[in-house]
Amino acid sequence: MTPRIFTPLVLFLVIGFLIGPFFIIVAASLSGGETLAFPPQGFSLKWVAKVFTVESFQESFAISMLLAIGGTAAALVLGVPASYALSRYKLPFGETIRTIVSLPIIVPGIIVGLALLRYIVVPFGLNITLTLFLAHTALVLPYAVRVVSASLNNLRSDIEEAAVLLGSSRAGAFFRVVMPNIRSGILAAFILGFVTSFNQVPVSLFLSGPGVRTLPIDMLSYMEITYDPSVAALSALLAFMSIGIVFLAERFLGFSRYV
Amino acid sequence: MSDAPFLSLEKLTLAYGDTVAVKDLDLSIRKGELVAFLGPSGCGKTTTMRSIAGLLSPASGAIKLDGADITRVSANKRSVGLVFQSYALFPHLTVFENVAFGLRLKKLPAAEIESRVTAGLKSVGLSNFSARKPGELSGGQQQRVALARSMVMEPKVLLLDEPLSNLDARLRLEMRTELQRVQKETGVTMIFVTHDQGEALSLADRIVVMLNGAIEQIGTPEDIYNRPISRFVADFVGFENIFAVEGGKLKAGNGPIDLSGSLPPDTAGLAWRPRMVTLGSGPFQGTVRGASFSGSTREYLLDTPLGAIKAEEDAALAARETGSAIAFDLPVEKAARLKKFG
């Protein structure tokens, strides 16, 4: 095989593997049949419509939304000051702190989930929802710190001193001249964190309790019982939601600069 | 300009952690003076400036401004302006809002802010740029915005960090004139930091030469240029032939050399600019090692028993050949007398 054929073939295969499943899911969700199958049997929107009638989906969607928004917001509340301190001051163990903050990216989620269940939830009887919230905050924190740090590093620190010499307090300088200039970084971190949290499976898998399930976990268990195309329909809807968010972010913020 | 000190630094010691950057510095500056802090990087000039601004608290000593001790007054309450080397404009605000920033914090009436910002921008020739963002301006324009931003606050002292170093030659001249004009019109006391002796000589009323965290010499540009008192200052302002003096004799490569005339006992060294060296006659002998032509003058490098000597002659005179023997003199009456030869 010559490289002239080989290269496009590899490219085609990679793109196919990456995007293919998405098209299959979309096609399957528009099926007129009773089971999840590909190619779809006939065409209908009934499974898309059914998604909105499944009660547990509504509940777990709300939980996932709250977790994604709340967890990401909490991660930013912790992450913005942390990034600021890490990028502006020579902290003792600064690099160590940076590494620890990045750990949730490196440690497999399944281990985090198991550890939280075995050593936090079971022995201390900690509320599942609270544990989920803490876990998602920790998972999103590395992204928040990374993205916000990137935009802080692009910002000269002497503008804060300039603000102080013009009469502003140190804290005032942060809110008046630092925050406005890292706003798009913070928004980018929020979107990245939201998507990460919303699609999170392995950690959440261990942290499910009666009536408390995130949407992806709920979809898994739904499929175990009911093998109909509504899961595909829901997946497709979620994928479109993510694409929409990322598209808007790119459109208005130049999101890809920060990741 | 009155004689009473307006800004004084008393036994000021500044440190970063355990590293002492400036030690026991004493300095008084009069109202309306334009002072340059001149020295190589690491001499403590920027550190001293930052402590006057309040961005660095002294380890010991005091800073007094306009009759008040401001040593412990925080930077935002000192009425000291600083034009940063990088200008430090706020990138998210327009030129107008940059200049208005401090006035808004003072909660002045909108009409007054408007008129002061307009006047400030007009004085630096940027009236038409008020709606632009800093990123859309050239370096020179950004610096003028930074200058206007500090000046509308009517500071008691305006500090400038390397105000000319980021500008090209033409803008440098323009900015120099601009700074002198602002200083004359407003009478603000100005201190600027520079490592460029030409900048200090051309702009300042008085120059403070610093080395290793201490003041080496304070004087008018003429004093510094013509009468350096230490080897370092002499070298810094272009004296190329510098010799130690011990017991009234010049300490040179081949042992002490008698000098014609007597020197005051505190003379530690003598220094000559290349053009102060007499060529063609005199008690010393040397060999021309090399020559370089620079338009109006020719500079020679001589190999002599005293060591290498740099001499300069009018280019209108005939060129001296490389390798030829030459008599020369180092006239003591022309030399700068150094009291410190460290």
CB contact under 8 A, B82 and A181: no
Q: What is the CATH number of domain B239-338?
A: 2.40.50.140
Of A154-163, B38-47, B181-190, B251-260, minimum mean pLDDT range? B251-260
Q: Which two tokens stand for residue B274?
A: 């290349």
Residue B193 near residue B37 (C-beta atoms within 8 A): yes
Q: Least CB-CB distance to B75: which of A159, A165, A180?
A: A165
The arithmetic mean of pLDDT across residues B235-257, rounded, is 84
pLDDT interval class at A2 (50, 70, 90): low
Express each pLDDT in A101-110 by its tens digit. Answer: 888 888 888 8
Instruction: Inform me whether the pLDDT recorded for A258 exceeds 60.
Output: no
Mean pLDDT score of chain B, rounded to an integer?
91
The arithmetic mean of pLDDT across residues B149-175, rounded, is 89
By C-alpha distance, the chain B residue nearest A169 is B76
β-pairing, B214-219 vs B206-211, is antiparallel
Express each pLDDT in B44-68 by its tens digit. Answer: 999 999 999 999 999 999 999 998 9
Percent share of chain B, pLDDT over 90: 71
**C-alpha span between A16 and A249 (Å, rounded):** 25
Residue A159 near residue B82 (C-beta atoms within 8 A): no
Instruction: Inform me whether the pLDDT recorded for A43 exceeds 80.
Output: yes
Mean pLDDT score of chain A, rounded to an integer?
87
CB contact under 8 A, B91 and A181: yes
pLDDT interval class at A47 (50, 70, 90): confident
CB contact under 8 A, B84 and A177: no
Q: Which two tokens stand for residue B273?
A: 């600019």
User: Is some CB atom of chain A closer than 8 A to the CB atom of B81?
Assistant: yes
pLDDT at A41: 80
The arithmetic mean of pLDDT across residues A191-203, rounded, is 89
The arithmetic mean of pLDDT across residues A73-81, rounded, is 95
For chain A, domains (ranges, CATH) are 54-257 (1.10.3720.10)
User: Is some CB atom of chain A closer than 8 A to the CB atom of B17?
Assistant: no
**C-alpha span between B263 and B247 (Å, rounded):** 9
ipTM of the shown complex: 0.84
Residues of B whose CB is below 8 A from A156:
86, 88
Q: Which residues contact A67 (CB under 8 A, 6 or more apart)?
A: A132, A133, A136, A197, A198, A214
Q: Which two tokens stand for residue B85?
A: 């080397």
Residue A152 near residue A87 (C-beta atoms within 8 A): yes
**C-alpha span between A228 and B320 (Å, rounded):** 103
Residue type, B74: S
By C-alpha distance, the chain B residue nearest A157 is B88
pLDDT at A28: 86
Equal fold, B5-232 vs B239-338 = no
In three-state secondary structure terms, B5 is strand
* Residue B35, H or E segment: strand B34-38
CB contact under 8 A, B101 and A166: yes
Q: Which residues contact B61 (CB under 8 A, 6 or more apart)?
A: B9, B10, B11, B12, B13, B24, B25, B71
The arithmetic mean of pLDDT across residues B233-238, rounded, is 92
Residues of B whose CB is below 8 A from A155:
91
pLDDT at A124: 87
User: Is some CB atom of chain A closer than 8 A to the CB atom of B65?
Assistant: no
Residue type, B293: F
Q: Which two tokens stand for residue B131?
A: 């709606």
Residues of A whose CB is below 8 A from B76:
164-169
**C-alpha span between B283 and B336 (Å, rounded):** 20
Of B1-10, B123-132, B291-300, minimum mean pLDDT range? B1-10
pLDDT at A259: 47
Q: Which two tokens stand for residue A94?
A: 């600064």
> Roughly how many angstroms between the first and final C-alpha of chain B, as a whole number?
35
Q: Which two tokens stand for residue B284?
A: 């010393």
**A-B contacts (CB, under 8 Å):** 62
Residue B305 near residue B253 (C-beta atoms within 8 A): yes
Fold topology of B5-232: Rossmann fold (3.40.50)
Of A25-39, B17-31, B51-65, B90-104, minimum mean pLDDT range? A25-39
More confident position, B189 or A102? B189
